Amino acid sequence: MIRRFRPYFSYLRAHRGLLIVAILCGIIAGVASGAGLPYMVKKVFPVIFAKDAVPLTAWELALITLWIPAVFLVRGVATYLNTYFIQLVGTRVLEAIRLDFFRKLQILPLSFFQKNSTGDLISRGLSDANQLQVTLTTVANEIIKSPASLLGSIGFVAYTAYTEQGVALVLVALAVVPLSVLPIRYIGKKLIKRAGRIQAELGGVTDIFSENLSATKEVRAFGLEARETTRFSRASQTLIRAQMKFMKYEKALTPLIEIISSAGIAFTLLYAYKVQLAQDTFITLITALYASYEPIKKLGSLNNELKRGIGALDRLEAVLQAPAAIVDDPAALPLPRATGELVFENVGFSYAASEPVLRDVSVRLPAGTVCALVGPSGAGKSTFANLVPRFFDPVAGRVTLDGHDLRQLRLADLRRAIAVVSQDPVLFNDTIFNNLLIARPAATVAEVEAAARAAFAHDFVTGFPEGYATVVGERGARLSGGQKQRLALARAFLRNAPVLILDEATSALDSESEAAIQLALKQLVVGKTVLIIAHRFSTIRDATKILVFDQGQIVADGTHAELHAGNALYRSLYDRQQGA
């Protein structure tokens, strides 16, 4: 079972110096407990309580009595250092695991996030990573510390029993130790399934939490407060039931081992009576035996910890080992300043094998083309545009930029050549200035302000008391929809990329702002290749080319006048919207 974690012990390797110190301290603490305490009972107590002993000098008495605090001092200091350094290593391991998890999320394709909920991914990156960290550090510590303590106490039992009564007492005293392993094996089998279930249920609770917090307006608008509370309560109760099923077995382990241990002590007591074993020898043996059962219990707990760790590891590996489909080819080429010519050659794409979204799409868009994508919902317009920045790769055919297959270009170079303005722009919980600066990190203050002016955002930004230093809140919560949209457009102005993708970029603006933005866009699109995903036909009046999509195919292309006169689908879509 430990082999399952072997690849992840590399996280510990970077801190092996601290880990070795922690383990050595653990061994010292284990030996002090397993052998030091029984030895103290054997050597100190008889000297103190013997009735016919020679009176001790003050110096001898001081040395003997100091043995007790000395043993506990060594044990206490070693235990403290062991715990502290293990926690230090564990914290650094947790940081590394979470960083790797987060780094992997940055390169996974968008299709991965369409299949996995945000809340569940958060749960994996936080609680599952924390569980893996606990398991790794616990295993690394206890796998040596507990056996050292066990061997120390058993060795002392065997030595004392053999010197007093020979092999027979050794066998009697240690006969019950192997029996203590039985509940560990039995309970371990019960726990392995329940451990993964707990992590999955925790992910479900986190998912509901995350979803509710992202839909606060809708919850209140539709009066869903009671429904959401009930939904969360049910998920929470399911989690609690899963946790209690795990606890039912996990917490039974220690009592079972102690019951078995007590039976072993009772059997040893019976044997001691039959062979007339001296009281001090018996007390020494019992102390050592009791000390041996403590590491057995810890090894049992370690087994339980491994089960929990496997459950967390399974969920983490679903992300850590997920294929990063959109990556740089080893022979990827640098992209010089692009002109913007886009060509789709027999492109096919599907999210699921049986449901094609694009079928045999071929079109050439010369540099400087302002192209509108029109069609019914689900016709493939957004997928067509998403292939350009390689949010997805085609399953058939290819897409080229300036004659280069997109898959043969460096991903960073390709995306620097593209600006995207989505219908629902996302602003980070940072200042307005920093939110604009992500479009071009090296831009000057004057360039950022010029971009904001071009997007008609400068006036409302300077109207805030803190101006461009205003923090916009989570997802831009402190701004209106129109303000967020104009800042997203300002990013595109600042990016000044040769390819521009507009996903209904003016949808959140009032008519006056939209008219101003349309004028600004006329300047922005000069010399650029522009894809406009059009839901409102008023946004495509400046398009030099219109592609009409239906059921994943381009069924017509041309200007507005040509399509309105010659294509029934386009005419029906346009007339229906104009009539509305």
User: What pLDDT, in 10s, does the model give residues 353-379?
Assistant: 677 889 999 999 999 899 999 988 888
Is it the case that residue 580 has pLDDT exceeding 60? no
pLDDT for position 444: 92
Buried b (16+ CB within 10 A) or exposed e, 309-324: bbbbbebbeebbebee
**Model pLDDT for residues 154-181, shown as the tens digit of each residue:** 776 777 677 766 666 666 666 666 666 6
Give SS3 for 240.
helix
Q: Which domains does the chain have, with CATH numbers?
A: 2-320 (1.20.1560.10), 342-579 (3.40.50.300)
* Owner of token pair 């993708």: 501
Q: Tell me if 579 sits within 8 A of 572, measured CB to CB.
A: no
State yes or no: pLDDT of 263 exceeds 70: yes
User: Taking 90 as the threshold, does the pLDDT of residue 129 lie above it?
Assistant: no
Instruction: Say yes or no to pLDDT of 395 above 60.
Output: yes
Three-state secondary structure along 175-223?
CCCHHHHHHHHHHHHHHHHHHHHHHHHHHHHHHHHHHHHCCHHHHHHCC
Overall average pLDDT of the 293-298 stretch: 71
| Dihedral sign, Cα of residue 321, residue 326, residue 330, residue 335 | negative
Q: Assign 388 a pLDDT band (cuts: 50, 70, 90).
A: very high
Q: How far is CA 231 from CA 201, 215, 238, 249, 256, in A?
A: 13, 14, 11, 28, 38
Tokens representing 508 are 């959140």
- Which pLDDT score, from 0 to 100, does residue 363 have? 94
534 phi, psi to nearest 5 deg: -100, 120
Q: Write the Ramachandran bin of 6: left for phi over 0, alpha for psi from -120 to 50, otherwise beta.
A: alpha
**H or E element in which residue 344 lies:** strand 342-352
Average pLDDT, the chain: 79
pLDDT, tens digit (0-9, with 9 covering 90-100), for 544-572: 899 999 989 999 999 888 888 888 988 88
How many residues in the chain? 580
Element (H, E) at 371: strand 370-374
571 neighbors 564 (Cβ within 8 angstroms)? yes
Report, in this order, helix, strand and coil percent for the chain, each rounded to 5. 65, 10, 25
Share of the chain above pLDDT 70, in %: 77
Q: Exposed (0-12), middle (13-18) or buried (19+): which is 264, by Cβ within 10 Å?
A: buried
Percent of the chain scored above 90 by pLDDT?
13
* DSSP string for 492-559: HHHH--SEEEEESTTTTS-HHHHHHHHHHHHHHTTTSEEEEE-SSGGGGTT-SEEEEEETTEEEEEE-
Interior/surface letters 467-488, b for 16+ CB within 10 angstroms, e for the rest? ebebebeeebeebeebbbbbbb
Sequence-distant (≥ 6) Cβ neighbours of residue 561 within 8 angstroms = none
Return the DSSP state at 421.
E
Question: Kind of pairing, strands 370-374 and 545-550?
Answer: parallel
**Residue 35: which pLDDT band, with cuts at 50, 70 and 90?**
low
Residue 46 has pLDDT above 70, yes or no: no
pLDDT score of 316 more than 60: yes
d(CA 340, CA 468): 32
Residues 198, 127: Cα–Cα separation, whole Å: 11
Note whether 563 and 556 are within 8 A (CB): yes
* Helices and strands per DSSP (H, E), number in the chain: 22, 10
What is the pLDDT confidence band of residue 138, given thresholds at 50, 70 and 90? confident
Which of 321-335, 381-395, 447-461 is predicted least confidently?
321-335
Distance CA 148, CA 129 (A): 29
If you ran DSSP here, which 8-state letter would residue 25 be given?
Answer: H
Confidence tier at 529 by pLDDT (50, 70, 90): very high
The answer on pLDDT for 516 being more than 80 is: no
Q: Quote the pLDDT of residue 467.
A: 92
| pLDDT per residue as tens digits for the range 47-86 | 666 656 566 667 766 776 777 777 778 878 888 888 788 7
More confident residue, 232 or 359: 359
Cβ-contact 133, 90 below 8 angstroms? yes
For residue 5, pLDDT over 70 is answered with: no
Cα separation of 400 and 345, whole Å?
Answer: 8
Question: What whole-number distance in Å separates Cα of residue 411 and Cα of residue 399?
Answer: 14
Distance of CA 238 to the CA centre of its chain: 22
* Residue 400: band (very low, low, confident or very high) from pLDDT cuts 50, 70, 90: very high
The pLDDT, as a whole number, for residue 399 is: 94
Task: Determine the average pLDDT of the residues in 493-521.
Answer: 74
What is the C-alpha separation between 428 and 424, in angstroms, rounded?
13
Looking at residue 42, its pLDDT comes to: 66
Q: What is the mean pLDDT of residues 269-291?
A: 70
Please determine, for residue 429, whether its predicted confidence score (pLDDT) is greater than 90.
Answer: no
pLDDT at 365: 93
The residue among 180 and 204 whose pLDDT is bigger is 204
- Of 360-374, 430-444, 453-467, 525-539, least confident by mean pLDDT is 525-539
